[in-house]
Amino acid sequence: MQDDPKSLKKEKDIDQFVDVGLSEYELERLENIRQNQAFLSTIDLLQASEELKELSRKKASQKGLKRLQREPVVKDLLPSRKSLRLQHKEAETLTLPKEKPTYTQPQFVKKAAGPLPMEAINMEEGFTLSSQLQQLCSEESTQDRKTALDLKDYRAALKSMRITADQVAKVVYDRTFSVAFHPSTSSLFMATGDKLGRVGLWNMGGACGDDGVLLFQPHSRPVCCLSFSPACSHQLLSLSYDGSLRCMDLNKALFEDVYDISDGLKTFDFLSHDCSTLLVGNWDGEVAIVDRRTPGNSHESLHSMDPKTLRCVSVHPLQRQYFAVAESWTVNIYDSRCLKKCKSSSVCELSGHSKSISSAYFSPHTGDRVLTTCMDDTIRIYDTSAMTGNSPLLTSIRHNVHTGRYLSKLSAVWDPKLEACFGVGSMARVRQVQVFHESGELLHTFTDQDNLSTVQSIVAFHPTRNALAGGNASGRLHVFTDWC
């Protein structure tokens, strides 16, 4: 092994002091320095230190949206403050206000009711959607053409999925609240909603927009629920806290009104196979049945459930008259044919939660399972094949879901390609996304030191391809796939 040039130089520096007449202590100190430098050069510690510094300077992915240009802040020039004591003046007498100042919530300007043009806010004025993008979004859903996988093949597919720098992009400017995959198999096309009402579209590998990203703003508050219509794949439905539910139609290049209230919408699902009827839930514990074929943007009927809170609704995939509602500390399953205006009786109950429930979803093929995520740090799977009385608990998995106020809540979601498997983000320090079997077995953990360094609060699976997307607090999507 060759000597380090730096250590050789230090040896020469020490030798030149020997003839100067240094004391024995000083010569011993210089010899210790020489030996330490020689040891460090043998273990390459200095080189490792430089590599660590280089890693710390590593920037997040620059693909996707460019940096948001903000207006420069102009500060008023105030006169310099002078001491009253030095000016030989009496001190001012200050009196406290009689009442404490009240905090006012920031005002959000809601978009006007009615259709909105699809104007990409990250593109120049006059930009129009490309015919290639419209053709991609109009591809027929392949949901009925899924090939059945056994658990062994599914595990192998998970292990084959990777992430690269090209599979990370900034799709919205603020915190991710929702993510959805388009069912197309010719390209990976995703949508995501953020904290300030924006909806971003990302055609991975596409040339349209900023690295395939187009950004729109049909809402003014968090877009907490997104879904491409299984019946019309060129339509994307988005729901927001601002009380609006809109349908983005790429063929018409419009955001059409579907449902609108003053504020507080939380969740929705398709109540009919043709997606013409929707089940919409709000923060006040009410569930509305909305028929898109009816003129206007109101509901057909409104039903009060839990007056405290309502987090999630999920419709049974086969028997669509049944739907699950996450209410406070329990999940109830109702029959839409037997609903009353208030105090409706549930068909069965999923109990055992000790804190509020973030989400509850029927399994995608049979509906024989319900997957819940609860703030008591537990993911639960219930058997709902009987749909009577109190559904039995099958599996309980401990999982930290306490994200704090600056991250979206973690929610476990089913993989539509296999009935018994689901994915969820993680708060573990090695940032990751985990995939479990309904038995509680951990099937795979997605990690990547170079391209995954943040918590993936929101996750979504492609309905047919081996692809998983995770969204973080800065509006970036991270995609694991075996796409060639």
What confidence tens digit (pLDDT) does each residue in 265-300 have?
999 999 999 999 999 999 989 999 999 999 999 999
With CA atoms as reference, report the closest residue to 331 among 406, 391, 257, 269.
Answer: 391
Query: How far is Cα 452 from Cα 164, in angstroms, rounded to an integer?
Result: 9
Question: Per-residue pLDDT for 2 more than 70?
Answer: no
pLDDT digits (tens, 9 = 90+) for 412-428: 999 999 999 999 999 99
Cβ atoms < 10 Å from Cβ of 127: 15
User: Any idea which residue has 């658990």 for tokens?
Assistant: 151
Determine what percent of the chain is predicted with pLDDT higher than 70. Answer: 87
Q: How much is the pLDDT for 23?
A: 82
| Contact residues for 305 (Cβ-Cβ < 8 A; gap 6+) | 281, 285, 286, 287, 325, 327, 332, 334, 344
Query: How far is Cα 480 from Cα 474, in angstroms, rounded to an integer?
Result: 18
Mean pLDDT over 42-70 rounds to 69
Least confident stretch, 121-130, 135-144, 255-264, 410-419: 135-144
Per-residue confidence band for 145, with pLDDT thresholds at 50, 70 and 90: very low
Question: β-strands 348-350, 378-383: how paired?
Answer: unpaired
Q: How much is the pLDDT for 26?
A: 86
Please check whether residue 267 is in contact with residue 283, taking contact to mean a CB–CB distance below 8 angstroms.
no
Determine what percent of the chain is predicted with pLDDT higher than 90. Answer: 63
Question: Per-residue pLDDT for 15 more than 80?
Answer: no
Question: Per-residue pLDDT for 3 more than 50?
Answer: yes
Question: Per-residue pLDDT for 161 more than 50?
Answer: yes
Query: How far is Cα 446 from Cα 448, in angstroms, rounded to an integer?
Result: 7
Per residue, the 3-state secondary structure of 367-395, as one string, reads: CCEEEEEECCCEEEEEECCCCCEECCEEE
Please check whether residue 233 is in contact with residue 96, taking contact to mean a CB–CB distance below 8 angstroms.
no
Cα–Cα distances (Å) from 111 to 102, 173, 198, in that order, read 27, 19, 12
Query: How far is Cα 474 from Cα 77, in angstroms, rounded to an integer?
Result: 34
Query: How far is Cα 411 from Cα 53, in angstroms, rounded to an integer?
Result: 35
Query: How far is Cα 133 from Cα 155, in angstroms, rounded to an integer?
Result: 33
Query: What phi, psi does 156 have (nearest 5°)?
Result: -65, -40
Please check whether residue 354 is in contact with residue 312, taking contact to mean a CB–CB distance below 8 angstroms.
no
Q: Is the dihedral of CA 182, 188, 194, 199 positive or negative?
A: negative
Cα–Cα distances (Å) from 336 to 103, 229, 259, 261, 326, in that order, read 41, 21, 19, 21, 16
Question: Per-residue pLDDT for 179 more than 70?
Answer: yes
- The whole-angstrom distance between residue 316's C-alpha and the CA centroid of its chain comes to 24
Q: How much is the pLDDT for 25?
A: 87
Mean pLDDT for all residues in the chain: 88
Q: How much is the pLDDT for 133?
A: 79
Q: Is the dihedral of CA 28, 30, 36, 41 positive or negative?
A: negative
pLDDT digits (tens, 9 = 90+) for 60-73: 777 889 876 666 66
Per-residue confidence band for 24, with pLDDT thresholds at 50, 70 and 90: confident
Q: How much is the pLDDT for 105?
A: 61
For the purposes of burial, counting CB atoms within 10 Å of the CB of 77, is it exposed (0-12), middle (13-18) or buried (19 or more)?
exposed
Question: Per-residue pLDDT for 1 more than 50?
Answer: no
pLDDT digits (tens, 9 = 90+) for 297-338: 999 999 998 777 899 999 999 999 999 999 888 999 999 999
Q: What is the pTM of this model?
A: 0.82
Question: Per-residue pLDDT for 235 more than 90?
Answer: yes
Query: How far is Cα 52 from Cα 63, in angstroms, rounded to an integer?
Result: 24
Strand order in 176-181's β-sheet?
176-181, 189-194, 199-203, 213-216
More confident residue, 44 or 190: 190
Query: How far is Cα 387 from Cα 483, in angstroms, rounded to an integer?
Result: 39
